[in-house]
């Protein structure tokens, strides 16, 4: 273990790693700060850049975008009450009120420090625990992994959108798309419809860009508004900086929210939005002056911001130990790991332990760069949120095309366009797109693990799964129970209230 | 989840909020939903009984149902899409053995035997069943006649359709005209469509965006982008990139 850590530290002794992390943080903060754009858009469009770099540069670059994006969303949330990303919705409760009181700068700085502390602490915890979790996971076999994947997909599909059934449909479409091309067990080509471009399967990059970038471009065009926000922002009028005594009062809130975010991050599919709201509620419940919440309370910024950023590190636990992405961002990270020849799973810690630990340590160190960059860039980004769409939308579309063309195949443009149009229609009909990409990535492991389980079962699959393998049966039964509970709570009738589906 | 817990999808909230700021007279029902949801979140968070300078909004059950309900256009589209998914998924479930292009033994393609067809069939079978459930729900919503009183969705979809046409034209021309020229045309069309008419603001963006992107990706990140198949245009592109390389010592 110590030898591995030593090798990891050696890998980190390069200045260009920090340059790429900084670039990722800046891009992430910028995109996060734009209310119409999302972190996932930036990651999807810039994923090909990470493919062209070596893993020690490309993956920290994406992690930088991820971290920067989650924080960047709080800038417009505080200044104008419009969340830049979903993770910062809870911040809109206190942020604009503090800005109206002339405490915008205090709120922005509190959000920054809470974000960085929450993120760094959860990253360190992840770093310390992930090896141990991987060792435990090494003890389980294909049926258990299959059961955990199915349980995770059920969880992700049911909690990630407005309708659990639509989430499940989205996941099934993703899994179905993942079956196109050569099969992982026998190598037989399926569902290619005579197209050579599909024999190798649907490529990840055009699919990700199509699903996440194109619908955002089209949605940005839908509205006639010239920019993503209609209000004028003047960063010079944001008031005094945060004082130490003000920050000190929020330290217990930050610690509490960090634990909340860390716990939520380990569960696939739940994510930053829920963590931020729980962080806010917990801060209010623990406060000696709960009556100040809702009127402009700095603790109400620290709670959600620490919690939503603390989710970042632990989402890497199921990703790296089981190869299960908990959300669309980690699905893209999984694609990046695979493209770099790193197949996440418990074995990765034996085979490429030094590289994995180096990436995790880089994620911790990214937080130091994060404070410095964010402090300097707060004002320019606060101003940038008013950039007109007439510049941003064509630039995003041009970048989306660059990302797709970088694969070197012109047919990928067609895949990107078809995926984008389909995703736009589904998004308009309130289908969540995250389960689709997660299902696509998990299709191969699902098929491989289920095929292995069927072979082990020797014809008696039910007995094998539910009697001989208790861990697998636990996760499958938990999945079934979850589905039953979701249906029950969806259709139960509360006296005096209509059934809202 | 968003509807039940009051924690909506982040992207949609961001877009809804920006739309609200931009379109003061449109989409009341959507605004009612959006604002109502946010207020309920805030009220939920304020469970300690504090006050607020924002007025609390109490929505009646009918108002909530009306705000949640899709417009007639979207309800119809929901039915059509669910039916299409169900049909395609059912067809793929039945026809999967015929969709295996090479290899395999016929007897191994039975439904109950482990084969290349088995697991995709299971996935598409589940997809078909789920789509039928959504189809029934969508049909019920259409028959129920609950729809938003005013909707701008037709206009919004039309605007997105025009943007999609620009994107399709861009995709068709990028290998023919080359990255720089096709991106210039796309940028010009999109910027004009989004309301930018001032030539002083318009022209620099049209030139700077494609040239900067191509230069950064080709010369700094070594990701090559399509050169025009029309030689005269390709020569100009090369000259521009050479000039920028010399200027910036790259």
Instruction: State whether residue A244 is helix, strand or coil.
Output: helix
| Distance in angstroms (rounded) separating the CA atoms of residues A284 and B48 | 8
A166 shares contact with chain B (CB less than 8 Å): yes
Question: Is A35 in Cβ contact with B123 (below 8 Å)?
Answer: no
3-class secondary structure, A131:
helix
Nearest of A39, A284, A329 to residue A276 by alpha carbon: A284
- Contact of A106 with chain B, judged by CB distance below 8 Å, is answered with no
pTM of the predicted structure, to 2 decimals: 0.79
More confident residue, B108 or B195: B195
Over residues B221-241, the mean pLDDT reads 84
> Cα–Cα distance between A308 and A305 in angstroms, integer?
5
Q: Which residues contact residue A125 at a Cβ distance below 8 angstroms, ignoring those fewer than 6 apart?
A: A262, A313, A314
Of A194, A389, A421, the CB nearest to B194: A389
Q: Do A295 and B160 touch (CB under 8 A)?
A: no
Collect all residues of chain A within an 8 Å Cβ-Cβ radius of residue B8.
Answer: 86, 89, 162
User: Which is higher by pLDDT, A344 or A422?
Assistant: A422
- Alpha-carbon gap, residue A21 to A424, rounded angstroms: 31
CB contact under 8 A, A397 and B168: no
Choose the weakest-confidence range: A115-124, A230-239, A360-369, A411-420.
A230-239
- Rounded to whole angstroms, the Cα distance separating A182 from A261 reads 39
Q: Which pLDDT tens digit goes with each residue over B197-208?
A: 887 877 888 888
B2, B13, B33, B45, best to mutate vs chain A, most A CBs in 10 Å: B45
Give the residue extent of every domain in chain A.
Answer: 2-227+236-491
Asked if pLDDT for residue A225 goes beyond 90, the answer is no
Question: Taking the CA atoms of chain B, what radius of gyration do you get in angstroms?
Answer: 26
Q: Residue A493: what pLDDT?
A: 58
- Asked whether the beta carbons of residue A402 and residue B123 sit closer than 8 angstroms, the reply is no
**Strand, helix or coil for residue A25:** helix
Q: Is B116 on the interface with A (CB under 8 A)?
A: yes
pLDDT tens, residue by residue, A482-500: 889 888 887 765 555 554 4
Number of Cβ atoms within 10 Å of the Cβ of B227? 19
Residue of higher predicted confidence among A389 and A413: A413
Which of these, A104, A46, A359, lies nearest to A235 by C-alpha position? A104
Test B205 with A450 for CB contact under 8 angstroms: no
Tokens 């979790």 belong to residue: A133
Q: Output the pLDDT for position A253.
A: 95
Q: What are phi and psi of A82, to 5 degrees?
A: -115, 115
Which of A92-96, A434-438, B191-195, B243-247 has the least mean pLDDT?
B243-247
Q: How confident is the model at residue A324 (pLDDT cuts 50, 70, 90)?
A: confident
Q: At how many degrees (to 10) do helices A434-457 and A164-178 cross?
A: 70
Using the Cβ of B190 and the Cβ atoms of chain A, whether some distance falls under 8 Å is answered with yes
In tens, the pLDDT along B76-114 reads 899 999 999 999 999 999 988 888 765 544 444 444 556
User: With an 8 Å Cβ cutoff, is B169 touching chain A?
Assistant: no
Interface test with B, best of A429, A485, A496 (most B CBs within 10 A): A429
ipTM of the modeled complex: 0.79
Residues near A499 by Cβ (< 8 Å), separated by ≥ 6? A491, A492, A493
Report DSSP state, residue B19. H
H-type alpha helices, A194-344: 204-212, 214-222, 244-249, 251-265, 271-286, 299-310, 316-322, 328-339
- Given an 8 Å threshold on Cβ–Cβ distance, is B85 in contact with A173? yes
Other CB atoms within 10 Å distance of the CB of residue B154: 12
**In sequence order, which residues have a C-beta less than 8 Å from that of residue B127 and are 6 or more positions away?**
A169, A172, A173, A176, B85, B89
Reported residue count of chain B is 250
Kindly identify which residue of chain B lies nearest to residue A290, measuring between CA atoms: B48
Confidence bin at B151 (pLDDT 50/70/90):
low
Average pLDDT over residues B101-129: 70
Q: How much is the pLDDT for B131?
A: 95
Higher-pLDDT residue of A94, B220: A94
Q: Which residue has the higher pLDDT, B34 or B132?
A: B132
pLDDT given at position A230:
61
**What contacts 24+ positions apart, CB below 8 Å, involve B30-38?**
B30/B67, B30/B148, B32/B59, B32/B63, B32/B66, B32/B67, B33/B64, B33/B67, B33/B68, B36/B63, B36/B64, B36/B67, B37/B2, B37/B3, B37/B6, B37/B8, B38/A89, B38/A92, B38/B13
Q: CB neighbours of B247 closer than 8 A, spacing ≥ 6?
A: none
pLDDT at B22: 35
Are the Cβ atoms of A89 and B7 closer than 8 angstroms? Answer: yes
**A/B interface, count of CB pairs below 8 Å:** 306
pLDDT, one tens digit per residue, over B20-79 is 333 333 333 333 334 333 333 333 333 333 333 333 444 555 555 555 567 788 888 999
Q: By the 8 A CB rule, do A438 and A173 touch? A: no
On chain A, the residues whose CB falls within 8 A of the CB of B103 are 186-189
Distance from CA of A198 to the nearest CA of B (A): 11
How many angstroms separate the first and last alpha carbons of chain A? 52
Ranges A182-186, A377-381, A442-446, B118-122: which has the least confidence: A182-186
Cβ neighbourhood burial of A16 (10 Å; 0-12, 13-18, 19+): exposed
Q: What does the alpha-carbon distance between residue A341 and residue A356 come to, in Å, rounded to a whole number?
A: 12
Find chain B residues with C-beta within 8 A of A446's C-beta. 119
Q: Is a pLDDT exceeding 80 seen at residue A36?
A: no
Q: Mutation target for A interface from B18, B112, B157: give the one with most A CBs within 10 A.
A: B18
A285-289, A481-485, B244-248: lowest mean pLDDT where? B244-248
Give the model's pLDDT for residue B186. Answer: 94
SS (H, E, C) B166-207: HHHHHHHHHHHHCHHHHHHHHHHHHHHHCCCCCHHHHHHHHH
Neighbours of B62 (CB within 10 A): 10
Contact A331, A437 (CB under 8 A): yes
Residue of B nearest to A456 (CA): B114
Domain parsing of chain B, residue ranges: 2-68, 72-144, 154-248
Q: What percent of chain B has pLDDT over 90?
A: 23
Position B28 scores a pLDDT of 37
Helix ranges (H only) for A179-265 are: 204-212, 214-222, 244-249, 251-265
Structure tokens at A420: 């984008």
Cβ contact (<8 Å) for A217 and B100?
no
- Of chain A, the percentage scoring pLDDT greater than 70 comes to 94
The pLDDT of residue A217 is above 70: yes
Q: Which two tokens stand for residue A182?
A: 């050569």
Distance from CA of A445 to the nearest CA of B (A): 12
Q: Which residue of B has its CA nearest to A230?
A: B21
Dihedrals phi, psi of A189, to nearest 5 degrees:
-85, 130
Between CA A249 and CA A300 the distance in angstroms is: 12
Neighbours of B73 (CB within 10 A): 16
Arithmetic mean of pLDDT, A143-163? 83
- What is residue B197's predicted lDDT score, i.e. its pLDDT? 81
pLDDT band at A189 (very low <50, low <70, confident <90, very high): confident
Determine the Cα–Cα distance for residues B11 and A386; give it in Å rounded to an integer.
18
Per-residue pLDDT, A434: 85
B168/A417 Cβ within 8 A: yes
- pLDDT at position A404 is 86
Portion 168-227 of A in contact with B at CB < 8 A? 168-169, 172-173, 175-176, 179, 183, 185-194, 199, 214, 216-219, 221-226
């Amino acid at each position: 273990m110590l030898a591995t850590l030593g090798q990891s530290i050696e890998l980190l002794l390069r200045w260009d790693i920090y340059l790429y992390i900084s670039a990722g943080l800046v891009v992430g903060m910028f995109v996060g700060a734009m209310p119409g754009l999302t972190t996932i858009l930036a990651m999807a469009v810039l994923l090909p850049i990470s493919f062209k770099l070596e893993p020690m540069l490309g993956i920290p670059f994406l992690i930088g975008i991820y971290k920067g994006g989650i924080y960047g969303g709080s800038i417009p949330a505080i200044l104008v009450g419009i969340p830049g990303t979903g993770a910062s919705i809870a911040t809109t409760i206190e942020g604009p009120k503090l800005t109206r009181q002339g405490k915008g700068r205090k709120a922005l700085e509190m959000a920054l420090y809470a974000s960085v502390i929450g993120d760094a602490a959860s990253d360190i915890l992840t770093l310390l625990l992930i090896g141990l979790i991987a060792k435990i996971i090494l003890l389980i076999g294909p049926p258990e992994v299959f059961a955990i994947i199915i349980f995770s997909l059920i969880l992700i599909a049911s909690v990630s959108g407005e309708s659990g059934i639509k989430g499940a449909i989205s996941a099934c479409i993703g899994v179905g798309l993942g079956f196109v091309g050569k099969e992982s067990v026998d190598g037989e080509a399926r569902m290619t419809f005579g197209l050579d471009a599909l024999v190798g399967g649907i490529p990840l990059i055009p699919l990700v860009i199509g699903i996440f970038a194109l619908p955002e471009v089209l949605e940005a065009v839908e509205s006639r508004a010239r920019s993503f926000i209609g209000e004028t922002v003047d960063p010079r009028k944001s008031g005094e900086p945060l004082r130490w005594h003000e920050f000190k009062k929020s330290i217990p809130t930050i610690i509490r929210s960090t634990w909340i975010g860390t716990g939520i991050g380990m569960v696939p599919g739940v994510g930053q939005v829920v963590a931020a709201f729980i962080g806010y509620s917990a801060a209010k419940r623990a406060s000696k002056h709960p009556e100040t919440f809702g009127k402009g309370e700095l603790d109400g910024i620290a709670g959600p911001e620490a919690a939503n950023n603390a989710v970042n590190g632990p989402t890497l636990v199921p990703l790296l130990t089981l190869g299960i992405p908990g959300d669309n961002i980690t699905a893209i990270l999984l694609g990046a790991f695979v493209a770099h020849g790193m197949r996440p799973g418990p074995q990765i810690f034996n085979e490429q332990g030094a590289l994995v630990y180096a990436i995790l340590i880089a994620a911790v160190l990214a937080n130091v760069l994060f404070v410095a960059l964010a402090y300097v860039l707060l004002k320019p980004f606060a101003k940038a949120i008013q950039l007109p769409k007439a510049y941003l939308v064509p630039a995003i579309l041009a970048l989306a095309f660059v990302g797709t063309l970088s694969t070197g195949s012109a047919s990928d443009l067609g895949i990107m366009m078809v995926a984008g149009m389909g995703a736009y229609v589904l998004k308009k009909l309130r289908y969540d797109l995250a389960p689709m990409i997660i299902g696509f990535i998990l299709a191969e492991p699902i098929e491989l693990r289920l095929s292995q389980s069927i072979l082990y079962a020797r014809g008696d699959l039910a007995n094998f799964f539910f009697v001989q393998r208790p861990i697998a049966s636990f996760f499958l039964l938990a999945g079934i129970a979850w589905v039953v509970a979701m249906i029950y709570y969806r259709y139960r009738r509360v006296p005096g209230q209509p059934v809202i589906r | 989840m968003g509807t039940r817990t009051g924690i909506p999808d982040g992207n949609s909230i961001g877009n809804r909020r920006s739309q609200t700021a931009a379109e003061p007279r449109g989409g009341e029902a959507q605004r009612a939903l959006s604002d109502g949801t946010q207020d309920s979140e805030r009220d939920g968070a304020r469970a300690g009984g504090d006050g607020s300078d924002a007025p609390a909004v109490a929505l009646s059950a009918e108002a909530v149902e009306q705000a949640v309900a899709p417009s007639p256009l979207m309800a119809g589209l929901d039915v059509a899409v669910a039916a299409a998914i169900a049909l395609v998924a059912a067809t793929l479930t039945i026809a999967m053995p015929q969709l295996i292009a090479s290899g395999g033994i016929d007897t191994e393609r039975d439904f109950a035997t482990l084969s290349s067809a088995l697991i995709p069939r299971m996935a598409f079978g589940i997809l078909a069943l789920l789509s039928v459930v959504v189809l029934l729900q969508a049909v019920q919503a259409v028959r129920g006649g609950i729809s938003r009183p005013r909707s701008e969705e037709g206009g919004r979809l039309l605007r997105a359709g025009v943007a999609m046409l620009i994107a399709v034209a861009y995709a068709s021309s990028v290998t023919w005209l080359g990255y720089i020229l096709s991106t210039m045309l796309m940028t010009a069309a999109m910027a004009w469509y989004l309301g930018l008419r001032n030539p002083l603001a318009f022209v620099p963006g049209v030139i700077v965006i494609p040239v900067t992107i191509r230069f950064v990706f080709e010369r700094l990140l070594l990701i090559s982008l399509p050169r025009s198949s029309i030689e005269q245009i390709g020569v100009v592109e090369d000259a521009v990139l050479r000039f920028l390389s010399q200027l910036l010592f790259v």
